[in-house]
Amino acid sequence: MRDRFARVGPRLTLLIVVLSALLPLLGLLAEREQRAAGVRGARAEAQQLAEVIAHDVSEDADGRQGADRARLRQHVAELSAQVGGDIEIVDLRRNVLAATMPEAQARQLGADAGGQIAATVRDGLPRVISHDAGEDMLSLMVVPIRTDGGIVGAVLLDYTGITDDLLDSSASARRNTIIAALGGMAVALALGWALSRGLVHDLRRLTAVAHRYAEGEYDVRAEVSSRGEMRELAAAFNTMAERIAERRAVLTDLATTDALTGLHNRRAFRTSLASDLARAERGGDPLALLIMDLDHFKSINDEYGHLGGDAVLRHVGAVLQRELRADDVAARLGGEEFGVLLPGAGHDTAMAIAERLRLAIARMVTVYQERSLSVTASFGVAAYPEHGRTAGELVEQADGALYDAKRAGRNRVCTPAAA
């Protein structure tokens, strides 16, 4: 009751006194809340970026499959330039596989004095490391690198620059907020009622917006009725939110697209398979899954190197995009393996499309270093509901059919018997 009386009491004198005391306090709280929201937003963005990077480098970082250090270092350097922060990749023993920061600093981080890396590769939970780099205190996000066989290492992402960018974008406006609040204390002595309906109201709205943003409502934007510094603060908050939105758009693209071919990646393909299968179940529509593997692809890598192999993979991706229908989904599942979803396609249609793709790839000629490279592909075709009613069953059936195609001599399309 006392708090309510202090805020909206009928006596104007008491209201003015209360407002004069509240204005600087609310200004400070708004400034601190926006700063905290920026730090939390940077941390959340860093975790998402680090998880995407961990997924992207998982094959090259898997020591059990023979990590390609040179390829991994080049890949990590490209990712570091793209996300704007140093990256370090370590294995389960915290040996440095690749890093973009100075070697001494990378070794010091890999030593894991605080045990955070060891804890992350043990329980799979992300953690934050604060590292004293001399003149600067760095913030690094640690996430596990997972493969089908389990955790094989960890990614360390220095997100200090991300935090600084977000805070710098609103630093001037935050200072203006404090100045405006202190000035408002004097103005409130004469204009308490007006300010109580204007500046205080907007400060509370900004604080509420900052709270909502910190809770994950990334589309929320600040709107105020006041002019001057309060409008600048709202504009600065909105600028910060737009920058995060742009970074999230880049992150979404990284999370769903295979960087080499421009097709969907394995993660996005699994999501599309689940949603298309649910849609087929609801509507009673057919759905087909193709799994394709390039024949003798290892010999291309052995003879022409990984760059030659990459040129062939890019060409195959372009052929799939050209030959498939608008609603079809093509993805690179890893290495030389590709997947294709055919919504609305029954078994016979899927077999015809697979045969068309097989012929298109067989006719494909990739020119690399003035050499002509050719490749063929084997296909396994599974259809819903004939060969399975779940994603796992369809993948298993298509994989089995692909194995049959390989065993039968390659460069052919096979399908399992109806279940």
Per mean pLDDT, which range of 39-48, 202-211, 346-355 is the poorest? 202-211
Tell me how crowded residue 323 is: count the other CB atoms within 10 A of its CB. Answer: 16
User: Tens digits of per-residue pLDDT, 321-359?
Assistant: 999 999 999 999 989 999 999 999 999 999 999 999 999
Q: How confident is the model over 304-323, as a mean pLDDT?
A: 94
289 closest CA partner among 392, 374, 201, 367: 392
Q: Would you say residue 7 has pLDDT above 50?
A: no
b or e along 233-271 (b: 16 or more beta carbons within 10 Å of the residue's beta carbon)? bbebbbebbebbeebbeebeebbbbbeebebbbbebbbe
Higher pLDDT, 413 or 72: 413
pLDDT classification of 135: cutoffs 50, 70, 90 = confident
What's the Cα-to-Cα distance from 182 to each of 167, 208, 225, 233, 346, rounded to whole Å? 22, 21, 19, 15, 71
Are residues 413 and 295 in contact, defined by beta-carbon separation less than 8 angstroms? no
Q: State which amino acid sits at residue 285.
A: D
64-99: per-residue pLDDT in tens? 455 567 788 888 888 888 877 889 998 888 888 889
- Mean pLDDT of the chain, nearest integer: 81
Q: What is the mean pLDDT of residues 153-178?
A: 74
Q: Is pLDDT above 60 for 189?
A: no
Mean pLDDT of 154-160: 87
| pLDDT at residue 109 tops 80 | yes
Order of strands across the sheet with 96-99? 96-99, 87-91, 150-158, 137-147, 127-132
Task: Phi first, then psi: give them for residue 345, nearest 5 degrees.
Answer: -100, 125
Q: What is the pLDDT of residue 4?
A: 47
Q: Which of 15-19, 143-147, 404-408 has the lowest mean pLDDT?
A: 15-19
- Please check whether the two domains, 67-155 and 266-414, share a CATH topology: no
Residue 390 has pLDDT above 90, yes or no: yes
Residue 333 pLDDT: 92
Residue 354 in tokens = 């697979």
* Dihedrals phi, psi of 156, to nearest 5 degrees: -110, 120
Residue 197 DSSP code: H
pLDDT (average), residues 129-136: 78
**What pLDDT score does 199 carry?**
61
The residue ranges of every structural domain in the chain are 2-37+163-255, 67-155, 266-414
Query: What local confidence, expressed as pLDDT, does residue 241 receive?
Result: 67
Structure confidence at residue 292 (pLDDT): 97
Measured CA to CA, the distance from residue 73 to residue 10 in angstroms comes to 69
Q: Is the full-model pTM beyond 0.75?
A: no
Per-residue pLDDT for 294 more than 50?
yes
Between 72 and 280, residue with greater pLDDT: 280
pLDDT at 307: 93
Q: Which two tokens stand for residue 5?
A: 């009386």
CATH code, residues 266-414: 3.30.70.270
Residue pair 127/195 in contact by the 8 Å Cβ criterion: no
pLDDT at 379: 98
User: For residue 140, what are the β-bridge partners?
Assistant: 129, 158
For 225-275, what is each residue's pLDDT tens digit? 666 666 776 777 777 767 766 666 555 556 678 889 999 999 999 999 999
What is 67-155's CATH number?
3.30.450.20
What residue type is 204 in one-letter code?
R
How many whole angstroms from its chain centre is CA 311? 26
User: 168: which 2 tokens?
Assistant: 């710098």
